[in-house]
Structure 1
Amino acid sequence: MDILLVGSGGREHALAWKMRQSPLVDRLFCAPGNPGIARVAECVPDVKADDAEGLARLARELKVGLVVVGPEAALASGLADHLNAAGIPCFGPSAKAAQLETSKAFSKAFLERHEIPTANYGVYDRVADAKEALSVFRPPYVIKADGLAAGKGVAISPDRHDAEAEIERMLGGRFGSAGSRVVIEEFMEGEEGSLFALCDGQRAVLFGGAQDHKRAYDGDLGPNTGGMGAYSPAPVFDQELVLAADRKIVQPTLKAMAAEGAPYKGVLYAGLMATADGPKVVEFNARFGDPECQVLMMRMAGDIVPYLLACARGDVSRLPAPEFKPQTVICVVMAAKGYPDSPLEGSIIRGADQDFGPHVQVFHAGTKKRDDGTLVAAGGRVLSVCAEGDDIAEARERAYAAIRKIDWPGGFNRTDIGWRALDRD
């Protein structure tokens, strides 16, 4: 089978790396791809991830048997709808179903409508109304841009003064049209993690959990980012919590989406808070997380392709539960200095593609090659350095040892990825 993968980040490199190992795959294409992906797939750099019509045309020209969608921008543009109309199986939800991620207001209303546990909230499109609504909530205040903001559209403000300033920034155009409305939420006490489920429109196969690190700097300080690191398994996801989340959140969500005429196909990413009252939804994503995908692909013991294809074709019922290695995998993101606000582009990276041994993989994200073959930074999050170990401590040591071998003065990374898991030991 020939497969087209859509995207250009670390998530897509991890997916390409894993799919390339499948005996079911003949040719693997990626649009637009990156230099790391180009080592395992044939890249088509001229077709961008948000060009739904161009990607659908490319899939027809290549005569692929499956399209795997990585980033949320492709889903928001309606790529799955174009592919379904052309009769090409697509791993990824329709634009209507993807609203679980692309509109936080839609998602919160959906959860409320179907009594799926989440935080209390309000939606506002005027600065005065949003500021007035702060009186209903207690600090810290959780303020979110309604639309897609590359993981940066969430602020947790410690006091009312900061919250009002954040409201002015968001509704004042900081995130463009994505911030034309804001969602203000009740702050939930607990530990956050990410649970994944592979869905065929009616049924779901649980696909493991991970815990990421959103803040830019050590100690969970600094602005929110798309994710500075992750590890799996996440100790917060004990069997009791996973079963409760499946029963109260994943299955009801699938059933309700189908009932509302938007059957959900693809991976459902449930960002959950483990509260004293059980798991509650922090947010939904309509694709694999980044960097959570990287650790999940390294931990998965079997072939990913049958699961992707079964979701796209609408029947996961015959597949066994996916198997994962017992080892822990950690991912440390190396980002360009200035990220997330103004990342420095063009700095030279040396040593990223060396052989780090059997327990380490380095996935490219925001990279490109100059004409002379020099690898340079071309985005905010640039490299995902992943390592496995018998426990979190061993995995972490291997990841940071690999980072020390990469020569990139223009980058930075957190040095405390995995601290929650280490604190449990």
Structure 2
Amino acid sequence: MLNEHPTCSSTGLSNFRCQLLLAAFYFCVVALWSIGIAFNGAPDESTHFFLLEYLKAFHTLPLASEPHEALLGPISGHTWQKGDFWYHGLPFPHIAGALITTYVGSWILPADMIYMAARSFNWILGCVFICALFRTSRSTGLPVLMSALIALVVALIPQVTFVFSYLNSDAYGLASIALLISTLVSFLNSPTRKRALYLGMALGLMFMAKLYFIPALVFAFTLLAANRAFKNTQLFKHAPTAIVVSLVVSLPMLLLVYTKYGEISGVSGQIDFVNMHKLNPAAGYGTCYLLCGDHFLNTETVFPWLNLTLKSYFSVTGWMNIFIPNSYYLASAFILISIALIALYQMKPIDRSERKLDIALQYGLPLVMIIALYPSITLMSLIASQNSLPQPQGRYLFVTIPFLGLLLSLTAKRFIQRSVR
């Protein structure tokens, strides 16, 4: 991982100006996409809006047992009935952000459109996401235009753009992971106190993300430990700065949620959701995928599950039923597998002078961990579907999306180095 370059000499385009252009473009894309989505026309939007509407109406957190009576949302106009489900016990930074943009938007938008102001917080997160992807590429040593291209390729995956277009917690998770990767690569290049502070902020944001984004933290800590052990023994010199900042960022909300709900994982809410739907035959509760009788793998259930997971990872832009042509999914899967194979080939030493330890730390270890995310998370998601409700949703693989930018960046850098020698 090499030092970043502030300006592209061939175009005169600075990092800052390029990020402004990327952010403005992506903000417009997700905003236009959002306009075409009716309220709650995207997965679970109402479950996030309930907390937002309750905070807006009563200026306090609801009990886990809410709503106790019908609630007319002051933002969306949607009515929640007694006993309607919402995910409690989770940190809610995306809701806090949406509450702010809602107050700002109320000065501009008509009453029946204020829900768009709440969504606009995720539009802003989309800008953070694409800029973080760009900075990651620059930190690996790629030129400005190539870095911008990689950021656009990842950000314009249809399902990714869709996630940033409505109110949900996955957008917050994607933006946090992208920031973590960007600050991590920058810190490994030059472990200064300032960069440790930025890394600590990113870690703090990650501590407030959903459980299925935890693999990003495992990636970061593994890479830090490996570089400390085999490359730079002074890497943790500014670790106290990162630790203190991460706690300052995350601890207040984590303590608030724990005090109110007795947890910070949202597991109790997930259990409630399963109990509410498991008696519905359409929910598929009890579907077996692995170790079913005499069979290790039940192909009749596993293959459809994998097929839908793949589709919703790349593009299912609605309630798991708005698909695009199958050829797109096949092409996307082929491209993803090809990228992984090309990346693995690039682990081969460029010349005899290149140390194997450098290859392992700067390229091999990140690459192997990124590729390993796919089968490991897919298996965990499959087991979770068997033990609760079948949910073949690509969202559980979303943790891999920001890592695609790092994978493409590292591979492109290796390819460039190999081609000039």
Q: After TM superposition, is the score higher than 0.5? A: no
Q: Which of structures 1 and 2 has the bigger CA Rg?
A: 2
- TM-score, normalised by the number of residues in structure 2: 0.25
TM-score, length basis structure 1 = 0.24
